[in-house]
Structure 1
Amino acid sequence: MKKFYSLLGVTSLSLLLIACNGDADTSEETDNETDEETTGQSDEEDDVAEADDDGEMTVEEIIDAAIAAEDDFQSIYSHSVMTTGVDGDTEADVPEEETGVAQEEELIEYIYHHEDGSVSNRMERMIDGEPTEYTAGDSEYTLTYTEEEDVAYRVEQVDVEGDPADVNVRENQFEQMMEDYEVALEGEEEINDYMTYHLTFSDEEEVRHYWIDQDTFEVIRLENEHAENPFRITFEVLEYELDIDYDEAFFQLEDVIGDDVEIEDRDQDEHLEAEIEDIEEDIEDEDE
């Protein structure tokens, strides 16, 4: 059964992939790249650096397994942290008060793929000192609620061509990067008790790091490098579990939205405008 990548997965990966252009010169080439062999494959495949010939997986095999993993699980729980900020070692012209300052968001996500191909998802976003933000929904509606507020917002999903369950966002992203960047297997590393493959995607200006669980081929950590743009994003999974059961009410936020909370319907444009206004107000509050 084809699966639909959740809001968090799409947002996290997309933010990392478009936020910065990194510096490929800071990435060290491994001995495996020196021993790379050409096998008469397509030009795209020829650019993929392979691991040595001792039975270990090649970069291409790791990526193929990661793409396939996106279609294999029925449900997932994940607890992760996203850190954004300005590199303290940057030489770019950045206000001193912003250099080295990072914001950390704790994210908890649940995804469930139903037998009919529909998908339910729920995300909890927590920043220290601020109320928890909840987002839940399916292919028709998204429900958003901020802790302690008296209104929750229900937004109809944007219509897309085809069945969302047939979209593999991870496949699209990996294929695009394999076309645009040199790919290398940097080695194996343990991240939060998960043994991972460390892959890099680089060109003359940028490096994108991926750490992929060797057992399930889920992405455990994402990180970017850039010499010109000091903005950094790190996304790291602290723990996760596959194929667990959920009650449907859990994806309607019934455990956090009280009977006294009003549910207000919004269209996409109205909701986006409100979100932008909230961000602008937060920036103004910080500047005061």
Structure 2
Amino acid sequence: MITENSVRKLIREEIKRHFKRLLLEGGNVFSDVNSVVPSEHLDATIKKSLVDAGLKKLKYTIIGNYKKPFLGDIDIAVDVSVMAKIMKFNGEATEFWGELDKFLGRTKIKDHKINKGLKQAHFITPLVDKSGTQLNAVDKDGNDLGDPGYVQIDVMIGDLEFMKKALSASDYRSKYKAVYRNLLIADIFSQTILKTKDPDVKRKFQMNWKNGVELVDFTTNEKGKRVKLKIRKVIGDMDKLAKFLFGSKRTFKDIDSFEKLYKLMKSKDFLFKKLNRKIFDAYKTTLTRYKFPIPKEL
């Protein structure tokens, strides 16, 4: 016999399955993730993850728009040098990620994964309130899903002061997310190839979103692939990046949205204005590759 309670249970189970599928499609790397984070429990949940990961003293900045009532993507930025001190790591930079993996494996964190290429770690952690009590999973509308909640924390590891602005949300008046601003900045640098004294070696700028603007010397091998020879950091502050591209009076506030950045690129102050056509063509290609709609301004 089908009762009202059994129907409600079936509906709740279907909601949970649907919600879990949406989460996984959104980029979660753990199959146990089953909840968003209500904003009032955001800091408590992040701090719980860091305590369990043996990183209680690690300062962090929340990246992106964290003022929404329910958050599905939780990104925090932390400083690699402070993390290394907590780990008591004194080895070579190339050894850091392997040692971090071992360090986290000895802690109470429910599960973790390391993405060396993106310079980040992923934690799965209980959804908790300020008292540390685990809460039930909820969906994006705040509906209780009935099971203990687990969420994913993405930890961006690099130069914390740089990431605070570089990975920040777009100006609240913008029609476009910060990814539009950042992809355009990246394509400004992707189109600036410089010569060196050696005809076989070229030089270019590149954006390292965890560390800053880097100057890269590279050559091209017989297969046509670029081989990086030397990389050095040249700009580690988004205000200085704005000054470099648009003059000494500019700060990051002047380029913190796609609209502001695009407008300044069309002005006489833009250092690489002659490359605008190449930059905008590359930008359109990038947006298409990531399946983002091309802004009407272009």
Q: Which TM-score band (shorter chain)?
A: under 0.3
Q: Compute the TM-score of the two structures, normalised by the length of structure 1.
A: 0.23
Specify which structure has the bigger relative contact order, considering alpha-carbon pairs within 8 angstroms and separated by 6 or more residues: 1
Answer 1 or 2: which has greater helix percent. Answer: 2
Q: Compute the TM-score of the two structures, normalised by the length of structure 2.
A: 0.22
Answer 1 or 2: which has greater strand percent. Answer: 1
